[in-house]
Amino acid sequence: MMRALLCVLALGAFGVANAADKPADTSMPFDTRSWFEAVEPLHIAGPIYYVGTRDLGVYLITTSAGHILLDGAMPGSQGLIEASIRKLGFKPQDIRLLLITHAHVDHVGTVAYFKKLTGAPLAVMAPDDQLLKSGGHADYLYSEVDAFHFDPVTADRVLKDGDTVTLGNVTLTARHTPGHTRGCTTWITSVEEQGRSWRVVFTGSTSVNPGTRLVDKPSYPGIADDYRHAFSVLETLQPEIFLAAHASFFDLDAKRQRVAKEGVQAFVDPQGYARANAAKREFFEAQLAKEQRTQE
């Protein structure tokens, strides 16, 4: 039962990520093993490292005052994340700040664990702080689905659009990009690598998961406008390096193969960022138009 339910959420992400190639087919099987599969940790640029699973992005950002952990993959993944952090030569206990992109089980499943382990404060965009505190029970789409619940966590700081968080020599700006969840967050920072500064964006998600209602009895009031706002924000950011909550969203497997020869240049992909956003907006607009036609 849980695997079937996880497939629904995965298909929402997978279908939108590939919307530029073909329409999403939510009836096709989707293997969620990549959500739990261990992969080698990877240096991306400056203080940023990938410590997630094959398809669930988790990022360690090292600073002069300890480390930041961004997102947390599925429940039970803490051992894989800790092992990746240690393999890079860092200690999980040195995490001093916890952040998330959005409060869905596949991205916050270990946040409660790492908060207990490290005592690090957690900063979350409103109103995802309430979704996180509910353990998923307040989700507009999956509130009654046990498979999408997780250990609840209380945020130490509740953010609004444009707020910044700083640890040591690293500052990140939080942009509110709602729709996928009401408090979905995109993080922006700059890092130094190869003698120059790189603008980095960690996108949350603008996927429209199966079952989401945009027009008739909307999943929540204003959801369509929230998605439009999110796309508008993302289109203004123009990163040189973009990372995401799902590794497949920014083609990590292919970029990983190029790192040994190219270093940071393997991740420089402004065109890929623009294509990904355009594909997701196209999928959203198609879903919106489909719902509007049913109302005529």
The closest alpha carbon to 197, from 47, 42, 71, 50, belongs to 47
Question: Per-residue pLDDT for 8 more than 50?
Answer: no
User: Tokens in use for 152?
Assistant: 């609840």
Domains of the chain: which residue ranges? 41-294
pLDDT tens-place string over residues 186-214: 999 999 998 999 999 999 999 999 999 99
- Rounded to two decimals, the pTM is 0.90
Mean pLDDT computed over 9-19: 36
The pLDDT tens digits for 126-173 are 999 999 999 999 999 999 999 899 999 999 999 999 999 999 999 999
> What's the pLDDT at 296?
64
Tell me: pLDDT of 22 over 80: no
Average pLDDT, the chain: 90
- Residue 214, pLDDT score: 97
59-84 average pLDDT score: 97
What is the mean pLDDT of the segment spanning 87-94?
98
Q: Which residues face 203 on adjacent strands?
A: 244
Q: CB burial class (10 A; 0-12, 13-18, 19+) of residue 59?
A: buried
Contact indicator for 54, 42 with CB cutoff of 8 Å: no
The superfamily (CATH) of domain 41-294 is Ribonuclease Z/Hydroxyacylglutathione hydrolase-like (3.60.15.10)
Q: 33 falls in which pLDDT band (50, 70, 90)?
A: confident
Distance CA 54, CA 39 (A): 6
Query: HEC profile for the chain?
Result: CHHHHHHHHHHHHHHHHCCCCCCCCCCCCCCHHHHCCECCCEEEECCEEECCECCECCEEEEEECEEEEECCCCCCCHHHHHHHHHHCCCCHHHEEEEECCCCCHHHHCCHHHHHHHHCCCEEEECCHHHHHHCCCCCCCCCCCCHHHCCCCCCCCEEECCCCEEEECCEEEEEEECCCCCCCCEEEEEEEEECCEEEEEEEECCCCCCCCCCCCCCCCCCCHHHHHHHHHHHHHHHCCCEEEECEHHHHCHHHHHHHHHHHHHHHHECHHHHHHHHHHHHHHHHHHHHHHHHHCC
Could you read off the pLDDT of 229-277 as tens digits, one per residue? 999 999 999 999 999 999 999 999 999 999 999 999 999 999 999 999 9
Beta-bridged to residue 59, according to DSSP, are 50, 70
